[in-house]
A and B are shown apart, each in its own frame.
Chain A
Amino acid sequence: MIVIKNLHKTFKTDDGDLEVLKGIDAEIKDGEKVAVIGPSGSGKSTFLRCMNLLETPTSGEVWFNGTQINVPGVNIDEIRAQMGMVFQHFNLFPHLTVKANITLAPVLLKRMTQQQADERAIELLKRVDLVEKADAYPSQLSGGQKQRIAIVRSLAMNPKMMLFDEPTSALDPEMIGEVLEVMKEVADQGMTMAVVTHEMKFARDVADRIFFLDGGHILEEGTPEQIFDAPKNPRLKDFLSKVL
Chain B
Amino acid sequence: MSFFATIGQHLYDDFVVEGRYMYILQGLGNTVVITIFALILGLALGVISSIINVFYANGKRGPLMRVLKVIVSIYITVIRGTPTVVQLMIMYFVILTSGSPLVIAILAFGINSGAYVSEVFRSGIQSVDYGQTEAGRSLGLSANQTMFKIVLPQAIKNVTPAIFNEFITLLKETSVSGYVGIQDLTKGGDIIRSITYDAFTPLLLVAGIYLVIVIGLTQIQHVVERRLQKSDRH
A interface residues (Cβ-Cβ under 8 A, vs B): 52, 54, 77-85, 87, 89, 91-96, 104-105, 108-109, 137-140, 150, 153-154, 157
Contacts and interface: CB of A to CB of B under 8 A. Distances in A.
Contact of A139 (B140, B157, B231): B231
B150 A93 contact: yes
B55 to A, nearest CB: 15
Nearest to A85: B138
A80 B138 contact: yes
B interface residue count range (under 10 / 10 to 19 / 20 to 34 / 35 or more): 20 to 34
For the complex of A and B, the 3 pairs showing the least CB-CB separation, nearest first, are: A81-B140, A91-B135, A105-B139
A157 B139 contact: yes
A191 to B, nearest CB: 16
B132 A153 contact: no
Contacts of A84: 138-139
A110 to B, nearest CB: 11
Nearest to A56: B59
Contacts of B131: 87, 89, 91
A134 to B, nearest CB: 15
Nearest to B156: A95
Nearest to B135: A91
A87 B135 contact: yes
Interface in B112-170: 129, 131-132, 134-142, 145, 149-150, 153-154, 157
Contacts of B226: none
A139 B138 contact: no
A95 B157 contact: yes
Nearest to B133: A91
Given A87-B131, A87-B135, A140-B234, A77 B141 contact: yes
A108 B157 CA distance: 22
B145 to A, nearest CB: 6
Contacts of A139: 231-234
Contacts of A108: 141, 145, 149
21 contacts: A52-B138, A54-B137, A77-B140, A77-B141, A77-B142, A78-B140, A80-B137, A80-B138, A80-B140, A82-B140, A85-B138, A89-B131, A93-B150, A95-B157, A95-B231, A104-B139, A108-B141, A137-B232, A138-B231, A140-B233, A157-B139
B134 A154 contact: no
Given A77-B141, A157-B139, 20 more contacts: A54-B134, A54-B137, A77-B140, A77-B142, A80-B138, A80-B139, A85-B134, A85-B138, A91-B131, A91-B135, A93-B150, A94-B154, A94-B232, A105-B139, A105-B141, A108-B141, A137-B233, A139-B233, A140-B234, A154-B138
